[in-house]
């Protein structure tokens, strides 16, 4: 008999409290900024009537750039495979030493990141930012959000292809299914020291085949009780395809809600484009999914320089859900959003000894100073890209009987 795996609902979503006080404060700040002559945002030169719907996304031409909402409807999901995927995502059975799961580094309350600058997998102890490294040490990179990853690669007009969706900070994998194999094989993330890379697939397949509940779940999801790593990857892909949050205040405004963004946030959106942020942070996820050389310092805990795609370029990250995903950049080099934005205020000099200043991305060189009030108004716009409503359900138990997430 298959037992049921009930879900624990983490804290219910709380609606934003009144906007009156923040709006008042914003107006005061506005008056003060103009009064002291520091930074006056350009008058907003667009309206909602300029918005054009293209397929399932809403687009707005702003100073020569196309700004786009996320698609209104979420991608289709195979429910049975996704529910199996959720259990696998939380089950340390996929880890060589059976103490780490995907969820160890991808926690729902942090939009499926972990709050650490650099992730800690197998051998570690503790949950989220309190996690401490064990015998496999610290992963060189910052855990990425899995919210809206189903749309990775989406362009301004809403075109995307799940099979070739770029994955990781260096785009080295294409699509969820190919991506999922990597953490399973990685010694530091999940495999650990007990098995080598060649053996780990067979070890996992055997463990799943020996588990009666998984046998039933695989049979029901795939019409075959075979428990191959390929099927594991497919189930994980289906689960992650359901992790979407496409109703941020920005999306609502683009779809016609006049009240979801205030004047200052709209002004921030225009400054975001004027400052050239949108040259790289473009499309519905505010990423061009292309690697760029920014010359930021190495992560504090890396053991050797991280060259990203090989040229010290890293993929432009999405700017959605930033309220949940600190710290920022590929190795959590910046702890707060203010610090991340302030980075763009530094003189255009490489801060990485392996990157020459002459190799910095040209688009970066055009970004103006941030410390004169421009940064704070852009930040107010970035805040409209948070959508707190997404799947945060945690299984209370997983078929292996191990603690979900390994915690």
Which residues sit at the interface with ligand HEC, rule CB under 6 A? 94, 100, 102, 104-106, 119, 121, 139, 141-144, 146, 149, 152, 167-170, 176, 179-180, 183-184, 189-190, 236, 240, 275-277, 279-281, 292, 294, 296, 314, 316-317, 319, 325, 328-330, 340-341, 344, 361, 363-364, 367, 378
Counting runs of H as helices and runs of E as strands, what totals does the chain give?
13, 9
Q: Which residue's CB is nearer to ligand HEC, number 72 or number 369?
A: 369
| Beta carbon of residue 82, minimum distance to ligand HEC (angstroms, whole number) | 12
| Beta carbon of residue 24, minimum distance to ligand HEC (angstroms, whole number) | 25
Q: Which residue's CB is nearer to ligand HEC, number 158 or number 308?
A: 308
Q: Provide the β-strand partners of residue 52.
A: 59
Order the strands of the 57-62 sheet from edge to edge: 52-54, 57-62, 65-68
| Beta carbon of residue 317, minimum distance to ligand HEC (angstroms, whole number) | 4
Q: Is the dihedral of CA 58, 163, 222, 187 positive or negative?
A: negative
Task: Report the distance separating Cα 237 and Cα 227, nearest Å.
Answer: 15
Write down the H helix ranges in 73-169. 79-90, 102-105
Task: Report the distance separating Cα 393 and Cα 395, nearest Å.
Answer: 7
Q: Which residue's CB is nearer to ligand HEC, number 3 or number 206?
A: 206
| Beta carbon of residue 358, minimum distance to ligand HEC (angstroms, whole number) | 15
Task: Report the distance separating Cα 364 and Cα 291, nearest Å.
Answer: 12
| Lookup: tokens for 302 | 């890396």
Task: Report the distance separating Cα 128 and Cα 136, nearest Å.
Answer: 17
| Beta carbon of residue 95, minimum distance to ligand HEC (angstroms, whole number) | 7
Q: Which residue's CB is nearer to ligand HEC, number 184 or number 398?
A: 184
How do beta strands 166-167 and 65-68 pair?
A: unpaired
| Lookup: tokens for 379 | 């930040």
Residue 297: Cβ-neighbour burial (10 angstroms; 0-12, 13-18, 19+): middle
Q: Which residue's CB is nearer to ligand HEC, number 35 or number 295?
A: 295
| Beta carbon of residue 203, minimum distance to ligand HEC (angstroms, whole number) | 14
The secondary structure of 205-246 as a DSSP string is HHHHHT-HHHHHHHHHHHSS----HHHHHHHHHHHHHT----
| Lookup: tokens for 71 | 């698609």
Are residues 84 and 218 in contact, defined by beta-carbon separation less than 8 angstroms? Answer: yes
- Residue in 133, 171, 139 with CA at minimum distance from that of residue 152: 171
| Beta carbon of residue 238, minimum distance to ligand HEC (angstroms, whole number) | 11
Are residues 122 and 92 in contact, defined by beta-carbon separation less than 8 angstroms? Answer: no
Q: Which residue's CB is nearer to ligand HEC, number 188 or number 211?
A: 188
Matching residue, tokens 């949950």 = 127
Are residues 221 and 229 in contact, defined by beta-carbon separation less than 8 angstroms? Answer: no
SS3 317: coil
- Residue in 154, 158, 156 with CA at minimum distance from that of residue 62: 156
| Beta carbon of residue 256, minimum distance to ligand HEC (angstroms, whole number) | 26
Task: Report the distance separating Cα 278 and Cα 288, nearest Å.
Answer: 9
| Beta carbon of residue 402, minimum distance to ligand HEC (angstroms, whole number) | 14
| Beta carbon of residue 109, minimum distance to ligand HEC (angstroms, whole number) | 16
């Amino acid at each position: 008999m298959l037992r049921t795996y009930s879900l624990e609902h983490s804290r219910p979503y709380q609606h934003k409290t009144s906007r009156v006080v923040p709006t008042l404060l914003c107006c005061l700040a506005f008056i003060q900024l103009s009064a002291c002559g520091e930074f006056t945002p350009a008058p907003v030169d667009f309206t909602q009537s300029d918005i054009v719907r293209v397929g399932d996304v809403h687009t707005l031409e702003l100073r020569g750039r196309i700004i786009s909402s996320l698609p209104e409807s979420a991608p289709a999901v195979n429910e049975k495979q996704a529910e199996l995927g959720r259990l696998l995502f939380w089950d340390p059975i996929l880890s060589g030493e059976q103490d780490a799961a995907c969820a160890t580094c991808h926690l729902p309350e942090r939009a499926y990141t972990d709050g650490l600058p650099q992730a800690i997998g197998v051998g570690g102890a503790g949950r989220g930012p309190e996690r401490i490294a064990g015998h496999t040490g610290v992963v060189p990179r910052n855990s990425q959000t899995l919210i809206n990853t189903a749309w990775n690669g989406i362009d301004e007009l809403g075109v995307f292809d799940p099979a070739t969706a770029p994955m990781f900070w260096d785009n080295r994998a294409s699509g969820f299914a190919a991506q999922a194999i990597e953490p399973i094989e990685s010694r530091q993330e999940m495999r650990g020291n007990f098995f080598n890379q060649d053996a780990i697939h067979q070890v996992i397949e055997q463990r799943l085949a020996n588990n009666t509940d998984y046998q039933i779940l695989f049979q029901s999801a795939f019409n075959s009780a075979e428990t191959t790593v390929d099927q594991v990857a497919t189930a994980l892909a289906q689960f992650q395809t359901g992790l979407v949050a496409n109703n941020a205040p920005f999306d609502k405004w683009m779809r016609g809600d006049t009240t979801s963004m205030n004047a200052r946030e709209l002004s921030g959106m225009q400054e975001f484009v004027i400052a050239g942020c949108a040259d790289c942070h473009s499309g519905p996820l505010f990423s061009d999914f292309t690697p760029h050389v920014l010359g930021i310092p190495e992560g504090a805990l890396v053991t050797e320089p991280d060259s990203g795609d090989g040229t010290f370029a890293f993929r432009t990250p999405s700017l959605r859900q930033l309220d949940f995903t600190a710290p920022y950049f590929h190795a959590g080099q910046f702890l707060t959003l203010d610090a991340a934005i302030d980075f763009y205020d530094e003189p255009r000099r490489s801060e990485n000894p392996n990157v020459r200043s002459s190799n910095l991305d040209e688009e970066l060189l055009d970004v103006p100073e941030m410390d004169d009030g421009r940064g704070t108004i852009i930040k107010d716009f970035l805040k409209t890209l948070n959508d707190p409503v997404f799947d945060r359900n945690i299984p209370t138990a997983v078929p292996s009987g191990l603690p979900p997430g390994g915690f």
